[in-house]
Amino acid sequence: MAAETQYTMNTGMVTVSTANSLLDGTGSLGTVLTAASNGTLIKTVTIKAQVSTTQGMVRLFLTFNNGEVTVTKLIREVEIPAVTKSAADPAFETVVPLNFCLKSGWILKASTEKAESFNVIAEGQNWAYYTSSVRTDTTKYTAYNNAASIATANTNLDGTGIMSSVLASSGTNVQGIVIKSIQNTTAGMVRLFLYDGTNTKLFREVSVEAVTKSSTASAFQREVRFDEGFALKSGWEIRVSTEKAETFKVISESLDLSYPA
């Protein structure tokens, strides 16, 4: 019998060189990679300068349709140091271990703070299933992402007040939650809650540090990772709030499970 899970390497790349200082997903962006039909695991992102660099930033974004409009959310900022290349000295390069499961149709994009040329290369892996002889006990995984914006202050820990839904489960294995500010932050808190359709309970608190962003310093970011995955029941949601009236983009990463008929 052929292998039931089939993997296909999926590499994407783009060169970005137009200055874009914006963190809200507007301005000049380059398309790095689009996820495949069952989703794509983006293992690493390599950022390689073609020129000498000054202090700045390369930013990674996710673009997707939320059912009504196409939106773009910041997921990662990578600080670029000043490096003078020469015949004996290489231009700047770094490898970002992203390890992010990207939902089908979602797009990884990139921008540069300074008008300097960078090659942005994503190392991806698609997965599919051998349909003619898959056992009925084979688990099939499909990448599922969602995203939310929060900006309204909510000091409550009892599940009341303003919050946003970052993941609505149909029976999913939650891999992680990315919390990314797009502005300066003061010391505060981002809170994750579980909603079962009736009750909302505090699940995690993420301390937010005071960070002053600039063209050379990234805004606050934190990831909540579930190394073995967190099994979230169908119909439940993960909701999110912010202690301070500061804007955060919150992106969920999960795997839906299904079985052949």
Beta bridge partners of 66: none
Cα gap 105→166, rounded to integer Å: 18
Q: Which helix (H) or strand (E) holds 250?
A: strand 248-258
Q: Quick one: pLDDT at residue 214?
A: 92
Confidence of residue 118 (pLDDT cuts 50, 70, 90): very high
**10 Å Cβ neighbour count for 230?**
18
Q: How many domains does the chain have?
A: 2
Q: Can you give the pTM of this predicted structure? A: 0.75
Which amino acid is it at 21? S
Q: Quick one: pLDDT at residue 2?
A: 43
Q: Residue 16 in contact with residue 120, Cβ under 8 Å?
A: yes
Q: Quick one: pLDDT at residue 130?
A: 62
134 within a domain of the structure (yes/no): no
Q: Quick one: pLDDT at residue 8?
A: 76
Cα gap 208→205, rounded to integer Å: 9
- Given a cut of 90, whether residue 37 has pLDDT beyond it is no
Q: Mean pLDDT in the chain? A: 88
CATH for 22: 2.60.120
32 within a domain of the structure (yes/no): yes
pLDDT tens-digit readout, 59-97: 999 999 988 899 999 999 999 999 998 888 888 989 898
Q: Quick one: pLDDT at residue 1?
A: 36
pLDDT tens-digit readout, 182-225: 999 999 999 999 898 888 988 888 999 999 999 999 999 999 99
Domain coverage including residue 175 = 140-258
Same domain, 240 and 159: yes
Q: Residue 214 in contact with residue 112, Cβ under 8 Å?
A: no
205 within a domain of the structure (yes/no): yes
Q: Residue 228 in contact with residue 214, Cβ under 8 Å?
A: no
Same domain, 124 and 220: no
pLDDT cut 70: percent of the chain above it: 92
Q: Residue 48 in contact with residue 16, Cβ under 8 Å?
A: no
Same domain, 120 and 147: no
> Which range is least confidently modeled, 33-37, 102-106, 121-125, 192-196?
121-125
Cα gap 113→59, rounded to integer Å: 8
**Nearest CA to 149 among 44, 242, 17, 51?**
242
**Nearest CA to 238 among 186, 183, 178, 181?**
178
Same domain, 187 and 148: yes
- Given a cut of 60, whether residue 132 has pLDDT beyond it is no
